[in-house]
């Protein structure tokens, strides 16, 4: 079965697409940097891991000690370190072997060189350190390094790869040699003879996206877990052994081996402009104790740090920080044009004060720099509204919107930015992704990206998040690019992003689409009221459903317990819940069970820090409004809840306070979406970049027609020349799978097919079910 689809390209819409529109966001979560983009293959080579990173971690995490005689021959020490910022090292008494398997093994390639480096000082004796990479089959690479001297010194050697394999690094000390060891590093050697900074296959995957900008370092990483964990850029420049390590808010360690110097180098290698983000004078609101501000007396120094970052990026070589940049090997400025200030912050009085002071200083010193504000973590809600009011009051150039929502939400919001004011702050969509990691998720993202592009007078920048995730080491799903020690596994969303980045138009055109009927969304289905407590034991008493009292009950686990039947559009549920044991809170469901439509109220959502209302249906789920911050469910403390549904409105009271008052979004989904933009090719011919999404189970016999005025002009020329002008197009189509194919930690299930098309006045092609196509269409000059 197929349906007809006609996309008629119209007149210019008066909107020029931002040349910086499509970029990437690099944050160190999911082992994206150490263990990922960072080419370093030694885990904890500085012996700086600690219990602050993760319970049970310490200086020898990632290392194994082989003691031939069972005697203690290794001690972690801090006296007289190689550098105060790299305070821990190990003292070794031979014979002893240290082993390190890196991240799931140390990769060796036959014929390639691998450079080992370390700092050492001899305590007594003399001799050489043997460095070997072994797998079960034997030695993959090795070198011997002679050490001498009672002062810290630096040593390096190249290990030629004998065979392909993934092994374990061995550092072997002979008998009678005692020495201190720190800053152990192993990196592949590039074709220029230098140790690589970035893992080549991941770097290539980023380059193929052709990003216009790179946002860094966060995200949550920028404003940290507590003031002591705020990201300080000055701690990340200079020799790696001098950089101040810290714990990562995502539950592991930051070596800062990929810091601001490497970040700016990455931008240059990708041909992208930098977009660094600094904290807006407050730490993350999800920190215990909330969003604490930098003390007032410390604000002048912090503001100066922000100004110094700009000077480090753009200052002349005779400026203080421009001179340091030149000393680090880069006298030319990095041409910084954007600066993000804050990330998903709660819009408190402290935030407003700190933000304003920083922004005013930056504007005064660097009026040409575009400062980007923040409007909270969600596409709606109290912080979103307050953030936008603040942005308009201050006339902020751009604000950073984030949304992680269902595919349905994306299809409902393809025209989200059409209704935004054309004056005042513009938008940077700094983080977005559709729930899941299936084909339907990627196509939903493509549909909304078309909307962003068509409204690029509002949306100036956009970057998917998160970017990278190491399989087996992730803290967030979905992600754009998965990888392990051997493979890079781009997702279906990556395929979509690549097509947007590689084929770009300049001037948006109106487009009329015939045959793209919207899809209605499910409301609620009649069913039951159910309660569950996935990680706790919870008692429920005083239960009433539509005024009917019900007996008390106690439940534990994910399987919901049914309370009573309810209708499809109206219901009122009240009860008192009390956690008996366990962690977090409980869930109330109202409506049909899967795959039907129902509501789920999460009391104690996301680390027991909020309440959240979710609408489920058609195999998808949407947050109904934004999560509301809350103190959480506590053992032995009763919680009174009332859930009232009068569809499409839902209200929730917790302990007598109205926490949610939501009118559910009943707008239909736009599953078939088209967009068009023109550009002038190198030969002077106008080309049209046309994007088509078909997120339905029906193939579409599609015709793309050029603008009528262009066709009429060409027809007149053809008549004069007695020839027929041809329309040609190159098309790339992503398709070949069903909507639920693909998933986290897997490569994209979609296939990419390219073809050439010709026609008169337009071109025709078949859009397969669940597909995305990009066409570059042009009218060739008449022949004859």
pLDDT one-digit tens code per residue, 645-701 = 999 999 999 999 999 999 999 999 999 999 999 999 999 999 999 999 999 999 999
Give the CB-side neighbour count of residue 240, counting CA atoms within 13 A.
23
pLDDT at 391: 98
Q: Is the pLDDT of residue 436 over 70?
A: yes
Torsion-angle region of 470 (φ positive above 0: left; ψ -120 to 50: alpha; else: beta):
beta
Q: pLDDT band at residue 743, thresholds of 50, 70 and 90?
A: confident
CA distance 34 to 473: 11
**Contact assessment for residue 769 and residue 698, using Cβ atoms and an 8 Å cutoff:** yes
**Contact assessment for residue 325 and residue 263, using Cβ atoms and an 8 Å cutoff:** no
User: Which residues, 6 or more positions from 46, have their beta carbon under 8 angstroms from its beta carbon?
Assistant: 86, 88, 182, 183, 184, 241, 245, 255
Buried b (16+ CB within 10 A) or exposed e, 565-575: ebebeebebbb
pLDDT at 724: 55
**Contact assessment for residue 676 and residue 692, using Cβ atoms and an 8 Å cutoff:** no
Pull the structure tokens for residue 399: 């604000």
pLDDT one-digit tens code per residue, 528-568: 999 999 999 999 999 999 999 999 999 999 999 999 999 98
pLDDT at 442: 97
Average the pLDDT over each of 120-124, 255-259, 335-339, 627-631 and give the range with the smallest value. 627-631
Q: What is the mean pLDDT of residues 742-759?
A: 94
The number of beta carbons lying within 10 Å of the beta carbon of residue 321 is 18
Q: Is the pLDDT of residue 435 over 60?
A: yes
pLDDT at 241: 95
Pull the structure tokens for residue 761: 């006045």
**Percentage of the chain with pLDDT > 90?**
87
Q: What is the pTM of this model?
A: 0.92
Centroid of chain to Cα 697: 29
User: Which residues, 6 or more positions from 278, have their beta carbon under 8 angstroms from its beta carbon?
Assistant: 222, 231, 233, 306, 309, 339, 340, 341, 358
Q: Is the pLDDT of residue 48 over 90?
A: yes
**Contact assessment for residue 609 and residue 579, using Cβ atoms and an 8 Å cutoff:** no
Centroid of chain to Cα 497: 13
pLDDT one-digit tens code per residue, 248-266: 999 899 999 999 999 999 9
Using DSSP's 3-state secondary structure scheme, residue 450 falls into: helix
**Which residue from 116, 173, 186 is spatially nearest to 147, judged by alpha carbons?**
173
Query: For every residue of 572-588, which 3-state class applies, written as one string?
Result: EEEEEEEEEEECCCEEE
Give the CB-side neighbour count of residue 708, counting CA atoms within 13 A.
6
Instruction: List residues bridging with 132 in a β-sheet.
Output: 142, 170
Q: pLDDT band at residue 71, thresholds of 50, 70 and 90?
A: confident
How is 593-612 classified by DSSP, letter by letter? PTTS-EEEEEEEHHHHTEEE
**Which residue from 713, 701, 706, 685 is spatially nearest to 767, judged by alpha carbons?**
701
pLDDT one-digit tens code per residue, 141-171: 999 999 999 999 999 999 999 999 999 999 9
**Contact assessment for residue 119 and residue 152, using Cβ atoms and an 8 Å cutoff:** yes
H or E element: which one contains 335? none
**Which residue from 629, 618, 633, 625 is spatially nearest to 651, judged by alpha carbons?**
625
Centroid of chain to Cα 668: 28
Instruction: List residues bridging with 119 in a β-sheet.
Output: 154, 182
Pull the structure tokens for residue 188: 């592949």
pLDDT at 714: 47
Angle of helix 299-314 relative to helix 260-270, nearest 10 degrees, comes to: 40
Q: Is the pLDDT of residue 783 over 80?
A: no
Q: What is the mean pLDDT of residues 515-519?
A: 94
Q: pLDDT band at residue 782, thresholds of 50, 70 and 90?
A: low
Angle of helix 299-314 relative to helix 320-327, nearest 10 degrees, comes to: 50
Q: Which residue is listed with tokens 């079910």?
A: 769
Q: What is the mean pLDDT of residues 438-448?
A: 97
How is 620-648 classified by DSSP, letter by letter? EEEESS--EE-----BT--EEEEEEEETT
**Percentage of the chain with pLDDT > 70?**
97
pLDDT at 624: 87
CA distance 249 to 222: 10
Distance (Å) of CA 58 to CA 8, 54, 225, 248, 264: 63, 9, 20, 15, 31
CA distance 324 to 333: 12
Q: pLDDT band at residue 722, thresholds of 50, 70 and 90?
A: very low
What's the mean pLDDT when you consider all of the chain? 94
**Which residue from 561, 556, 565, 563 is spatially nearest to 537, judged by alpha carbons?**
556
pLDDT at 721: 41
Q: Are strands 762-767 and 699-705 parallel, antiparallel or unpaired?
A: antiparallel
**Which residue from 403, 399, 412, 400 is spatially nearest to 378, judged by alpha carbons?**
403
pLDDT at 522: 85
Q: What is the mean pLDDT of residues 412-436?
A: 96
pLDDT at 737: 87
The number of beta carbons lying within 10 Å of the beta carbon of residue 738 is 13
Residues catalogued as catalytic? 344
Q: What is the mean pLDDT of residues 745-753?
A: 95
H or E element: which one contains 350? helix 349-365
Rg from Cα positions in the chain? 29
**Which residue from 145, 232, 237, 158 is spatially nearest to 196, judged by alpha carbons?**
158
Using DSSP's 3-state secondary structure scheme, residue 325 falls into: helix
Q: Which residue has the higher pLDDT, 717 or 423?
A: 423
pLDDT one-digit tens code per residue, 303-330: 999 999 999 999 999 999 999 999 999 9
**Which residue from 248, 452, 284 is spatially nearest to 374, judged by alpha carbons?**
284
**Which residue from 783, 776, 779 is spatially nearest to 760, judged by alpha carbons?**
779
Residue 133: what are its φ and ψ, rounded to 5°?
-110, 120
**Contact assessment for residue 234 and residue 169, using Cβ atoms and an 8 Å cutoff:** no
**Which residue from 766, 765, 733, 762 is spatially nearest to 750, judged by alpha carbons?**
733
How is 36-53 classified by DSSP, letter by letter? IIB----TTTTS---TTT
CA distance 239 to 235: 10
The number of beta carbons lying within 10 Å of the beta carbon of residue 681 is 10
Pull the structure tokens for residue 614: 């979710």
**Which residue from 70, 73, 65 is spatially nearest to 123, judged by alpha carbons?**
73
**Contact assessment for residue 442 and residue 3, using Cβ atoms and an 8 Å cutoff:** no
């Amino acid at each position: 079965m197929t349906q007809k689809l006609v996309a008629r390209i119209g007149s210019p819409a008066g909107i020029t697409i931002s040349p910086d529109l499509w970029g990437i966001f690099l944050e160190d979560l999911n082992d994206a940097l150490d263990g990922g983009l960072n080419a370093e293959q030694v885990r904890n080579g500085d012996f700086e891991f600690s219990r602050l990173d993760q319970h049970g971690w310490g200086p020898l995490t990632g290392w194994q000690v082989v003691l031939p005689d069972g005697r203690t021959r290794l001690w972690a020490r801090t006296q007289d370190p190689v550098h105060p910022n790299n305070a821990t090292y190990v003292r070794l008494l031979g014979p002893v072997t240290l082993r390190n398997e890196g991240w799931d093994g140390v990769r060796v390639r036959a014929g390639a060189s691998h450079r080992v480096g370390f700092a050492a000082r001899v305590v007594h004796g003399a001799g050489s350190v043997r460095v070997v990479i072994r797998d079960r089959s034997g030695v993959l690479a090795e070198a011997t390094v002679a050490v001498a001297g009672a002062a810290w010194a630096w040593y390096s050697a190249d290990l030629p790869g004998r065979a392909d394999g993934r092994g374990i690094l061995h550092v072997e000390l002979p008998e009678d040699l005692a020495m201190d060891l720190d800053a152990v590093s192993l990196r592949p050697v590039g074709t220029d003879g230098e140790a690589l900074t970035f893992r080549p296959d991941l770097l290539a995957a980023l380059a193929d996206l052709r990003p216009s900008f790179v946002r860094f370092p966060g995200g949550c990483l920028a404003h940290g877990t507590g003031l002591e964990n705020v990201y300080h850029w000055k701690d990340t420049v200079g020799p790696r052994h001098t950089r101040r390590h810290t714990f990562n808010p995502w539950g592991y360690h930051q070596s800062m081996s990929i810091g601001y110097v490497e970040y700016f180098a990455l931008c240059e290698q990708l041909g992208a402009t930098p977009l660094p983000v600094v904290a807006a004078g407050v730490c993350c609101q999800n920190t215990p104790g909330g969003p604490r501000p930098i003390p007032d007396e410390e604000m002048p120094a912090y503001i100066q740090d922000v100004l110094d970052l700009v000077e480090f990026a753009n200052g002349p070589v005779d400026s203080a920080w421009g001179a340091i940049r030149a000393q680090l090997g880069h006298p030319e400025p990095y041409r910084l044009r954007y600066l993000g200030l804050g990330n998903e912050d709660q819009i408190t009085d402290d935030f407003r004060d700190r933000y304003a002071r920083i922004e005013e200083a930056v504007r005064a010193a660097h009026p040409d720099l575009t400062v980007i504000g923040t409007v909270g973590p969600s596409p709606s809600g109290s912080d979103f509204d307050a953030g936008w009011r603040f942005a308009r009051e201050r006339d902020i150039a751009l604000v950073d919107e984030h949304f992680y929502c269902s595919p349905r939400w994306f299809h409902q919001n393809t025209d989200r930015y059409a209704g935004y004011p054309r004056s005042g702050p513009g938008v940077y969509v700094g983080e977005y992704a559709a729930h899941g990691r299936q084909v339907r998720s990627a196509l939903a993202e493509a549909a909304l990206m078309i909307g962003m592009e068509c409204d690029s007078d509002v949306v100036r920048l956009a970057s998917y998040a998160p970017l990278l995730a190491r399989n087996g080491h992730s803290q967030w799903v979905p992600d754009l690019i998965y990888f392990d020690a051997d493979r890079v596994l781009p997702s279906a969303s990556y395929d979509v992003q690549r097509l947007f980045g590689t084929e770009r138009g300049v001037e948006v055109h109106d487009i009329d689409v015939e045959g793209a009927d919207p899809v209605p969304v499910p409301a609620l289905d009649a069913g039951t009221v159910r309660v569950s407590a996935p990680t706790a034991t919870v008692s429920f008493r005083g239960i009433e459903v539509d005024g009917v009292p019900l007996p008390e009950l106690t439940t534990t686990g994910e399987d919901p317990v049914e309370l009573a039947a309810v209708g499809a559009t109206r219901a009122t549920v009240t009860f008192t819940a009390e956690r008996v044991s366990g962690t977090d809170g409980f869930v109330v469901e109202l409506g049909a069970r899967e795959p039907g439509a129902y509501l789920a109220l999460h009391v104690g959502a996301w680390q027991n820090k909020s309440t959240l209302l979710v609408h489920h249906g058609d195999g998808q789920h949407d947050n109904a409004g934004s999560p509301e911050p809350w103190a959480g469910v506590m053992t032995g403390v009763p919680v009174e809840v009332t859930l009232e549904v009068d569809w499409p409105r839902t209200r929730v009271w917790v302990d007598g306070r109205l926490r949610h008052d939501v009118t559910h979004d009943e707008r239909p989904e736009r599953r078939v979406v088209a967009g068009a933009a023109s550009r002038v090719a190198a030969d002077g011919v106008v080309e049209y970049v046309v994007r088509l999404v078909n997120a339905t189970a029906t193939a579409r016999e599609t015709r793309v027609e050029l603008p009528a005025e262009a066709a009429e002009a060409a027809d007149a020329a053809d008549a004069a020349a007695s020839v027929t002008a041809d329309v040609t197009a190159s098309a790339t189509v992503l398709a070949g799978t069903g909507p639920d194919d693909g998933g986290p930690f897997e490569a994209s299930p979609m296939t990419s097919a390219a073809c050439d098309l010709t026609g008169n006045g337009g071109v025709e092609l078949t859009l397969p079910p669940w597909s995305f196509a990009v066409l570059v269409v042009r009218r060739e000059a008449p022949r004859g």
